Structure 1
Amino acid sequence: MVSSESDERLESYGADIGARSRPIPRAREWLLVEGDRVVVAALLLVGVFVVLVVLHDVGVISFVNSNSVTRVASGMIAGTFSLVTLVVSINQLILSQEFATAGSAQKRLESVIGFRADVADEASVAASPVSQTKLLELLVESIARDAAAVEDAVADHDEEVRRAITRYTNIVQSETGRIGETLEHTSFGTFRAVLAATDYDEDWQLYVGTHLRRAYDASLSPTATERLEDLLESLKLFHVAGEQFRTTYLQRELTRFSQLTVYCGVPAILSAILVGLLYADVTGPSVNIAVLPYVSIGLIGVVLSPLTLLVSFILRTTTITRRTASTGPMLPQKGPEEGPFDVSAGDGGMPDGKAEPTREERENR
């Protein structure tokens, strides 16, 4: 018999992006992935401004030495030029991936057409949707339908087989329902849609389904085996579609970042120049000494705007990449002992009684 403890270990060990409930982890998730990148960059600028004002008010820093300020301004000009140049180079690198010869373009087109044909066959529709979000919705519906078919196919099996398979299909249907509702109210290009695709743990479900398929190979009827294979195939197709969706979104995100950096780059360079010019008069600063520190701090904030954009965008892209850096059921972000099945060579049985980490332990990783 499969114990209830073993049943619980069939639950997802996936990326858990956005799955934080406590205040501090939730705030961290908003900062890293959920928050609008422009808003995050603006908050970082406000934080820098507040810190500089406080340091000035307590006497830690000052803006009375013209030589020091002009040297800082020169460094900011050089740094901003370098940052903008680097971002433009990254943008050119992204664009270069879109250039292709006729042969490469034909192979790319044929692979896309072939994939869409596979999705249409698996979902039993005439043609797969053009919209990537709708395509993911269709695959989610196909996964839910296949999971229900597997559950029906094992209804007359032994209790051990029926209990394990039903537990698995219930989890799959619950997850597809949650992701399906999110995708239904989103559109392509929004991070909410990417978050939904990333949050769905098809790799883990594929792993568990493959294990159950092999563990109960002799006990499953031909119909149940066929239905389970259909479910695994739908999960594979969702994985491919999700990877393409994430890749396309990240390309658009990095292109948007390049545009915003160029927009902010010119004002940043002009602000850095203006900081130096404020102290260029031989008679001293050309602004009233009482407001000079705050004017300088404000200009410094403008100079740092490209840097805060870089920080906010890179935080999201690197977090998504790190948490989804896998091909199939390989989860490098997890610990080596995490998993519901304790297996060894030649062992085709179900998992032993090894306890899974608690949800709190998984959230803190």
Structure 2
Amino acid sequence: MSSSIDPDEDVNVDTETDLESDADADIGTANTMRQRAGESRAKLWVMLGANRLLITGLLALTVFVAVLVVGTQFYPGFHADLQTEDTIETIFSTMIGAIITGTTLVVTISQLVISQENGPLGDQHERMSSTMNVRDYTRDLVDRPVPADPSAFLRNIIDASGDRARKLRDSISDKDDDELKAEVNEFTTSLLGNGQQVREQLDGASFGSFDVLFAALNYNYGWKIFQAERIKYDYQDSLTDDEKELIEQLRTTLSMFGPGREHVKTLYFEWALINLSQLILYISVPALIVAGGMLAFVDGTSVTGSFVGVAHITILVTAAFTVTLLPHLLLVSYIARVATVAKRTLAIGPLILRESQR
């Protein structure tokens, strides 16, 4: 379960990256996901950052209030309708069918996710070999042992990118080409600042919550790869072979962040869908009990009285209806996050799909 996360947390960048440059600001484009998407902090908090149980609760409260207001203020005959057996029976018999159908569908999806992890011994050996090959490649790339923790794994790649960016900046510091120095300074400042911000967000984040993936989404590695390629091409006559090699090493390190993030994203999706299946199974039982209880024991004429001008039967039916909706609302809250992440990570590498970044 995820904790509440600030989509655009402000952090202090290390003084080592506190450089000023008059180069084109597009070199150091917006880095965080909120800045790149051009959307409000509140929307990203609801769709991504907030705890999914909290969002489910807010949706349930919204449904309860909306039905109550509509039933008392805009449809005066609602109370009279609830006093007939047919209305309550129709509502909750329909909800029982919806709960059973929805629960079956979600469990089926969960089984499909789990089935991806199953396979014969040869397939499992191939998966293990591929994983170890990537770890060996990453170890050579970052020049240190590769940690098993996902957040530490991504931090290592960010640290290695920062080290190579500093080497590149230092290597051109004595050059006569002021335009090249300005662009490299702007580029490395953006890279180091974004890396420091994401590194702090990753620090202490544990897999199983959304924190690791959310922080990884704030690292704008694709744009950095493009800028490294562009600088190498535009200033090929001013750069020495060693400096070109430094740019190529930086580009290679940045490109490793892409598959690393996608792997973390895939694991999170599987984790979240399995959690969703478990929670829906748990919550569908009380939802069915409430729906069955309303059918078996509640008669619209037997519940009398009112509270602040609202009939008890209206409050009771609205509350029961909201409870029976909880499995669906839980599904909405989880799928909203999964779909949002999937949409924002359709492209791997330096491909820009969002109009706000073009």
User: TM-score w.r.t. structure 2 length?
Assistant: 0.86
**In 1: Cα distance, 2:242 partner to 2:185 partner:** 15
Which residue identity lines up with residue 33 of structure 2 in the other structure?
I
Residue aligned with 1:200, SS: coil
Q: How does 1:162-311 map to 2 (within 5 A)?
A: 162-279=181-298, 285-288=301-304, 290=306, 291-311=312-332
TM-superposed CA distance for 1:69, in Å, is 1.9
Are positions 1:144 and 2:159 aligned together?
A: no
Q: Percent identity?
A: 27
**In 1: Cα distance, 2:22 partner to 2:258 partner:** 28
Is the contact between residue 303 and residue 313 of structure 2 (CA under 8 Å) also seen in structure 1? Answer: yes
Give 2:45's aligned residue. Answer: 30
Is the contact between residue 22 and residue 182 of structure 2 (CA under 8 Å) also seen in structure 1? Answer: no
Are positions 1:334 and 2:350 aligned together?
A: no
Q: How does 1:103-122 map to 2 (within 5 A)?
A: 103-122=122-141
Structure 2 spans left out of the alignment, 5+ residues: 1-20, 307-311
Count of aligned pairs between the two proteins: 328
Structure 1 spans left out of the alignment, 5+ residues: 340-365
**In 1: Cα distance, 2:35 partner to 2:283 partner:** 33
Residue aligned with 1:99, SS: coil
Which residue identity lines up with residue 205 of structure 1 in the other structure?
K
TM-superposed CA distance for 1:18, in Å, is 4.2
**In 1: Cα distance, 2:201 partner to 2:346 partner:** 23
**In 2: Cα distance, 1:313 partner to 1:76 partner:** 21
Residue aligned with 2:237, SS: coil
Is the contact between residue 84 and residue 301 of structure 2 (CA under 8 Å) also seen in structure 1? Answer: no
Please list the CA deviations of residues 62-95 of structure 1 after superposition, one character each: whole Å capped at 9, or x if unmatched: 3222212211211111111111011001100110
TM-superposed CA distance for 1:194, in Å, is 1.2
Q: Name whichever of 325-334 and 43-52 sits farther off.
A: 325-334
Q: Name whichever of 4-13 and 81-90 sits farther off.
A: 4-13
**In 2: Cα distance, 1:159 partner to 1:18 partner:** 33
Give 1:9's aligned residue. Answer: 26
Is the contact between residue 34 and residue 40 of structure 2 (CA under 8 Å) also seen in structure 1? Answer: no
**In 2: Cα distance, 1:254 partner to 1:269 partner:** 22
Residue aligned with 1:179, SS: helix
Give 1:134's aligned residue. Answer: 152
**In 2: Cα distance, 1:330 partner to 1:122 partner:** 23
Query: Which of 49, 55, 68 lines up with 1:53 in the alignment?
Result: 68
TM-superposed CA distance for 1:287, in Å, is 3.3
Change (3 A) 1:20 1:303: farther
TM-superposed CA distance for 1:328, in Å, is 1.1
Residue aligned with 2:24, SS: helix
Is the contact between residue 28 and residue 186 of structure 2 (CA under 8 Å) also seen in structure 1? Answer: no
**In 1: Cα distance, 2:235 partner to 2:36 partner:** 35
Please list the CA deviations of residues 294-345 of structure 1 after superposition, one character each: whole Å capped at 9, or x if unmatched: 111111111000011011111111111111111211122336xx54xxxxxx
TM-superposed CA distance for 1:289, in Å, is 5.7
Is the contact between residue 258 and residue 349 of structure 2 (CA under 8 Å) also seen in structure 1? Answer: yes
Give 2:4's aligned residue. Answer: none
Which residue identity lines up with residue 128 of structure 1 in the other structure?
V
**In 1: Cα distance, 2:297 partner to 2:27 partner:** 65
TM-superposed CA distance for 1:188, in Å, is 2.0
Give 1:318's aligned residue. Answer: 339
TM-superposed CA distance for 1:6, in Å, is 5.6
Residue aligned with 1:304, SS: helix
Please list the CA deviations of residues 210-268 of structure 1 after superposition, one character each: whole Å capped at 9, or x if unmatched: 11112222221111111111111111111111111111111111111111111111111
Is the contact between residue 187 and residue 193 of structure 1 (CA under 8 Å) also seen in structure 2? Answer: yes
Over aligned residue pairs, what C-alpha RMSD do you find? 2.1
Is the contact between residue 18 and residue 34 of structure 1 (CA under 8 Å) also seen in structure 2? Answer: no
User: TM-score w.r.t. structure 1 length?
Assistant: 0.84
Q: Name whichever of 217-226 and 32-41 sits farther off.
A: 217-226
Please list the CA deviations of residues 161-192 of structure 1 after superposition, one character each: whole Å capped at 9, or x if unmatched: 22212211111111111111111132222212
